[in-house]
Copies of this chain bind each other. A is one copy, B any other.
Amino acid sequence: MSQHTQALTEFLAALHYQQLPETVVSRTEDLFLDWLGSALASQGMHPIPLFERYAAKMGPGSGPAGILVNGQSSSAYFAALVNGASSHLVEQDDLHNSSVLHPATVVFPAVLAAAQDLGKSGRELIVAAVAGYEAGIRIGEFLGRSHYRIFHTTATVGTLAAAVGVGKLMGFNQQQFTHVLGTAGTQAAGLWEFLRDAADSKQLHTAKAAADGLLAAYMTADGLSGAKNILEGEQGLAAGMSSDANPSHLSQGLGERWALVETSFKFHASCRHTHPAADALLALLQQENLSAQDIASVTTRVHQGAIDVLGRVQVPQSVHQAKFSMGTVLGLIAVYGKAGLPEFHQYALTDSRVSDFRDKVSMLLDEEVDAAYPQRWLGRVEVTTLDGRTLQSSIDEPKGDPGNTLNRAELEDKFRRLLAFSGARTDEQATGLIGLVWDLRYLDDLTALTRITSLTGSAA
C-alpha cells in the first residue's frame, strides 16, 4: 500500500467527533437538510417508483431503515438504494467542485440507512458523513479529469465514499478501511453514455453507489477481504479508469483541510456545469436591464468538462435532459429570472420563448476557465444584443459555492420549496424535519427522520 492510501485509512480510523471544528459539524447538518430535501422532492417522479417496487419485491416487507419518498421501511440495503436514487433526481443536491463529486446523494443514503439499522446517534452519523465526504472528495480529486470524461464520478467514487461512511459508523480500524476501499473500489461503475439518450441511469448510479458501498462495509465487518491497493495498484481503479491520477490528492491536508466545507449547494435546479454561465447571464441582465427578447446571441465560455457533459443534447426531450441543456437553462434565466424546479417542469419544454432563446446560446472552450477548473468554476458569457452591442459578464464564484454559500434561512427556504414541489411532506412536516436536522448532533434516535407518522401523529 502506498503512503497516501495508508495516510488516508489511518486518518479515517482515527477520526472522532471532538476533532471536528464547529463549522464542519454545522455544515454537515446543512448538507444533510439539503440532501433530505432533494430526496423528498422526487416523490412520485419517474424512475423513483421503479426503485421502490424493486425494493418491495426483492427486500423484506419492512425493516429498520426508512425509505424517504414513501415513508416505508426495509433493510438497510434497500433503504440506501431507494434514497440514493431519489436524492439525485431533481438535480438539487450538493456538489464538490474540484472532485466533481456529488457527495450527499451517495454518502447520506448509506450512512442514514446503516445508522438506523445499527441504532447509531446523530453525532455518529455526522462523523460517518464527514469520513465519507473527506475520503470521497480526495479519491475524486485523485482520479482526475480523465476519469470524469467517461465515468460518472459520483457513481464510481460514490461507492467508495458510501462504504467509508458506513465503515466509520461501524468503527472500522485502519485495516478494515483498507479492505472496504478494496471491496468498494472493485464495484465502482458508472458511464456517462446514458446522457446522450436521457436514459434513467443517473438514478441507478447513485442508488447503486450508496447500496453497493453499504454492502461493502457490512461484508467487510463480517470478514470479507479486499485488495489492499485498489486506488493506486497496477490493476486498480486508476490503472483502469484514469490517465491523470495524482496520488498526493489522497492524503492532502488530512485533518487540517476539511473538504466537506468546500462543498457547494445548488441554487439552480440544473446540472452544475450550467450554473456559472447562468449566474453571469443573470447578473448581466439585471445590470443592463435587458430581457430575453433584447438578446441576439449568447456565447458561454466554458471548461471542457461542461462541453463533454452538456454538449451532446441539442433539443432536450425530457425535463431531465433540459437540465443538461445550457441553452434551456439560460433561456429560463432570461425569460423567468430563475431556473428552479417549477420553471423546469412548467416551462423548459413547452415555452417557445425558452426554446427560441436556447437556439441563440453556444458554448466555447475558454482557456482561462478550463485552467481554473475544477478547483474554480468561472462564469463567462458574451452577449450580443439585437441593437448591436456586445456585452460581457463574468462571475468567479457561482451562488452556492463556499465563498457565496446559502445560509440557514436560504437552506430552509430551498427545503420547503423542494417539499412543496413534490408534496412529499406538508409544510408543517417540513418544519418538524428542519427542527430535527438542526438538532442532529443531539439526536439519539434517527428513526423520526424518515417516518412520516412521527411527524403527523397519524398513519401516513
Contact = CB atoms under 8 A, between A and B. Distances in A.
Interface of A: 46-47, 50-51, 53-54, 57-61, 75-78, 149-151, 155, 179, 182-183, 185-201, 204-205, 208, 212, 215, 218-219, 222-230, 233-237, 239-241, 308
Contacts of A57: 75, 218
A183 B233 CA distance: 28
Contacts of A58: 59-60, 75-78, 215, 218
Given A47-B223, A58-B59, 8 more contacts: A47-B224, A183-B204, A185-B193, A186-B204, A187-B189, A193-B230, A194-B227, A208-B212
B59 A193 contact: no
Contacts of A54: 215, 218-219, 222
Nearest to A190: B186
B201 A182 contact: yes
Q: Which of A47, A51, A186, A308 has the most CB of B within 10 A?
A: A186
B235 A192 contact: yes
Number of copies: 2
Contacts of A223: 46-47, 50
Given A186-B204, A187-B204, A226-B201, A193 B234 contact: yes
Q: Which of A47, A76, A187, A236 has the most CB of B within 10 A?
A: A187
A312 B215 CA distance: 28
A390 to B, nearest CB: 34
Contacts of A224: 47, 50, 200, 204
Contacts of A215: 54, 58
A191 B60 contact: no
Chain A contact surface mostly: helix
A235 B183 contact: no
B50 A191 contact: no
A191 B222 contact: no
26 contacts: A50-B223, A50-B224, A57-B218, A58-B60, A58-B218, A60-B61, A150-B240, A182-B194, A182-B199, A182-B201, A186-B193, A186-B201, A188-B189, A189-B189, A191-B237, A191-B239, A193-B229, A195-B235, A196-B235, A197-B229, A199-B225, A199-B226, A199-B227, A199-B228, A200-B226, A204-B219
Q: Which of A205, A235, A308 has the most CB of B within 10 A?
A: A235
B240 A151 contact: yes
Nearest to A202: B186
A151 B235 CA distance: 8
A73 B276 CA distance: 53
B228 A196 contact: yes
Contacts of A219: 47, 50-51, 54, 204
A75 B59 contact: yes
A227 B240 contact: no
Given A233-B196, A235-B195, A201 B227 contact: yes
